[in-house]
Structure 1
Amino acid sequence: MRWSFSIGKFAGTVVRVHITFFLLLIWIWFMHYQIGGMAAAWEGVAFILAIFACVVLHEFGHALAARRYGIRTPDITLLPIGGLARLERMPEEPRQELFIAVAGPMVNVVIAAIIFVALGGTAGIEQMLQVENPRADFLVRLAGVNVFLVLFNMIPAFPMDGGRVLRALLATRLSWARATQIAANIGQGLAFLFGFLGLLYNPLLIFIAIFVYLAAAAEAQNAQIRDVANSVLTGDVMVTEFTTLDRSATIAEAIDRLLATTQNEFPILDTRGRMDGLLTRNDMIAALKETGPDAPVVSVMRTGLPSVHRRQSLTEGFRLMQEKSVPAVAVVDSEGRLVGLLTHETIGEMMMVRSAMPEGFRFGRLRRQAPLPPRP
């Protein structure tokens, strides 16, 4: 995620902090300083850090549960609104997603139970509800936050864990796409409820409502792509009309191609027609500022991009794009030569065309048949 940096790697997962998290710490420090001075300000910061330590443990609960099914978690990112564990792929069975989704809130249950026992069982509900009161006991408030995290995360709406639990339960009876659509609709209904309550009580609920609504829409779209991808070949969706670059090309030449076309990604080919790397528009602009127009494209191109055979299912290309977080996947023939590119734009276009096609019409007939243009 952009604007985030690593604070360490634990059990194979990189923990990252988004820069906006520090804005939250500054705001908390200032608010507590107004209430109780310097001591209260630093205690407020310490309390927020303790909360986010619990959030990290929550996300590692998901990560460890996913590892049980052979799913890696490349990174966990801390945001002001919580944590985000990025799985390399979605679980394949409903029971797997159910186990992974529940694992996070169970960590918070354990943390709250440990704190409750450590306090000798004296913490009451009223005390734990005083989360915003800096004069209340630190550990009691922390136990209350963990109880809140369990309840909040089990709301049946994406991207909360409750949305994934709901989908997993529905998927035991329905198709994955249908289960996702129903769960997304429920989540968007709750988003409207949050927005209405936010207008009446707390404006923060409006922000949560927008976040939940967009997340539900994105999850539904992702499920639709996965469902369609099973019946479509990568070669039916790839872009075949694009400009390529030679290894000897310079940034200035790449900029010329950028201005002359509508492309954002430019493959760099060797003499055999195999892709050596990819140069994106952002890469060009950054290189133009840092190294100048005469720098060779090979010095700034992205290497190691995944590839997929043109006859493979689109599911494989889509999976590689998500796992590797790359702007494009190379589509190759049996000899490894580049014959097309799979991008986020082509997948989006495929979904729009698919939704407009008559019932029973074969999508493969619409594939562009133009040959790969000669290298400039």
Structure 2
Amino acid sequence: MKLQDTLRLSFGALTSKRLRTSLTILGILIGPAIVVGLTGLTLGFSAVLTHQLFSSLSPTDIFVTPGTNQVTSYTVQQISKLPGVKAVVPFYTLSATLETPSGPEPTVILSIDTAQAQKAFPGLTLETGQYPSPYSSYGAVAGYYITHPQYPGQPTYGPGQTVEVQINTPNGKVTKTFLITGSFNEFSSAFADIDRSLVVQNIVGSQYYGDDYSGLIVEASSVSQVNSVVNEIHNTLGRSVSVTSVEQFVTLINNSLSAVSSLLFIAGASSFIVAFVGILSTMFTTVVERTREIGVLRAIGFTRRGIMAIFLGEAVLMGLLGGIAGIGAGVGMGFLLTSVAGSPRGGGSGGGSAFGPGTHITPVFDPNFMVEVVLITIAFSVLAGLIPAYRASKIEPAVALRYEV
């Protein structure tokens, strides 16, 4: 019997029981929908994170923070002499509190050479005003959330205004007044929450911590030299410091999301078991109901192999239709989930997503992966239909023709 005749008979059998076929396909599509939708969601998150990272930081940036020892001016000298190092920018991060009319607001003071910081953070741009002069110990640039209200009643500050800050120092809390000279555009970074920070010149941090830096930003001469510079720092300083490059940030993000994606895939794949049972039940019922039909087909010359092919054809068609429908449902689920994740948060006039204010997340779907999901769905359907098809092929014509449903 020709393949097209087998498929025609299989398709005719499915359309004769439309409700049962539709419900079976509905059970089949759940697995592909969950797998495709959740995988597209995690890939979308990964793409957004990677984009944010590379748009805010330079790919040649390497971050050095204290390990077993403090990071000092001597550490700066050692790293500056290493091959492939273009610049070393020390910085301080000071825990502080903004004293506002509505009460204290936690913040962080980033004390750094602002001229060099602009090179290390290409995505960090001024919205208004200017940076304080290199020798100013009272000028500050305010983060985006300090100059833009995020909730009703939040006090905000702009260029030309002064702000009183209580700084935690080794010698206790110190109150200091800063003049806001400028404000930043919104800036997302894995390095620091600059949107809620005050950025001042490094002279401020040195007043309280001397040359005990919170860390260093090492700029490699080129992207190709980043790994060699990281290795040189490890070889020179050992475990006395912790070293992380932007590339390692990306690797960490991808590894973390890959682990999450694998767990989601396993959870979604369990839905294939439901589809397997559904197809198995449907096919067994079909075989029982069509026993007389099987006898007629055998009587007019159909072989056992031909009977088995008809029933397997039904399983393949249900798997194919369920897989394709599941892919479509999964794509819709991905966009629905990302729209929920990207919906504005309550309580803030600035809006934003659960992934960061102003962030638009788009699910990412791999065509090859979707084809693989369809093939896996068909494979499960064939496995589920194999035993019923075999039983149908073993029915004797004489017994089948006398069978009463």
- Asked whether the two chains share a fold, i.e. TM above 0.5, the reply is no
Relative contact order: is structure 1 or structure 2 higher (C-alpha 8 Å, sep ≥ 6)?
2
For Structure 1 versus Structure 2, the TM-score category normalised by the shorter chain is under 0.3
